[in-house]
Structure 1
Amino acid sequence: MSEVVFRTATAADLPAIVALLDDDDLSRGREDASLPLDPRYLAAFEAITADPNQMQVVADLDGRVVGTMQLSFLAGIAFRGGWRGQIEAVRIASDLRGQGLGQQMIEWAVDRCRERGCRMAQLTSKLDRVDAHRFYERMGWKKSHAGFKLQLEQA
């Protein structure tokens, strides 16, 4: 396998990103990868790219987008004003899972957090993603909090 390149996503990557988000048993149907994409995806992408504390990242393997994640840098008063790196919406193409790309992508994200002077990196994962939890724990991540979400958007 060629070497994967992690880079900031471009608008041209958006269809592949949405397809990756939808290519998951637990989130299938939540996204709509049909073309043309819902314009809300582009609006969200533009907001992310305009914010210097946000990155939409893709894993590129020989010109194919095979992974994605959103990386956010959050200022906070806690931890003596320490910044946090928030990693969200991590996906690897289903045909390439289990080959180490996810670990490389998370390590890349943690390195970006270090470069930005973050005191910690954090992520959330749905409770029923047991395989993902084992993956993060193997990488040294610790379960530390219970989280809550309140859905606000109407279907």
Structure 2
Amino acid sequence: MVTFRNATAEDLSEIVRMLADDALGRERERYENPLPDSYLKAFESIDADENNELIVACLGEEIIGVQQITFTPHITHQGGWRATIEGVRTASAERGKGIGSKLIQYAIDRAKKRGCHLIQLTTDKQREEALRFYERLGFKATHEGMKMKL
């Protein structure tokens, strides 16, 4: 049975390993031993912020998935809150077994519990399978997103 919990600093190595385990992740992550300090600093900021949750999916003691959920208040929608899902990954050995769907459903449930009126995510346009996956779960490409690297 898959369970979910807040990540701990001890989970970082496994989380970064999953983030680096695809063509795009290999280009932007640094899965090394020891991990670069930037990962621990980011984790500490996330962990200290009540509006951020770094969630791991576990099968027994083994971490098999990860996602970050950020809750943001907005002036739009009458001051409503929205949730943003980032960094969703499933361990390569567990892909195709419904873990990703369970991660996203967990995020949706958390957003509802927090009173969010909307949940959103972005995925790289090169990740065609991910786009189809999110559409199957009910997400719609209603907006054109833009990013600028700094």
Same fold (TM over 0.5): yes
TM-score bracket for this pair, using the shorter chain length: over 0.9
Structure 1 residue aligned with 2:30: 32
Question: Quick one: which amino acid aligns to residue 103 of structure 2?
Answer: M
- Distance in 1, matches of 2:79 and 2:38, equals 33
Percent identity over the alignment is: 48
**CA-atom RMSD, angstroms?**
0.8
Please identify which structure carries the higher helix content: 2
Amino acid at match of 1:101: I
Q: Give the structure 2 partner of residue 51 of structure 1.
A: 49
Counterpart position of 1:149: 147
CA distance in 2, matches of 1:149, 1:14: 26
Residue deviations 1:38-87 (CA, integer Å, cap 9, x gap): 01100000000000000111011121111101100010011111100100
Partner amino acid for 1:149? Answer: K
TM-score for the superposition, normalised by structure 1: 0.94
What CA distance in whole angstroms lies between the structure 1 residues aligned with 2:99 and 2:72?
25
2:64 is paired with a residue whose SS is strand
Superposition map of 1:84-99 within 5 A: 84-99=82-97
Aligned to 1:137: 135
User: Does 2:100 correspond to 1:102?
Assistant: yes
Instruction: State the aligned residue count.
Output: 150
Provide TM-score, normalisation by structure 2.
0.97
Instruction: List runs of 5+ in structure 2 lacking aligned partners.
Output: none
Tell me which of 112, 115, 124 is aligned to 1:114: 112
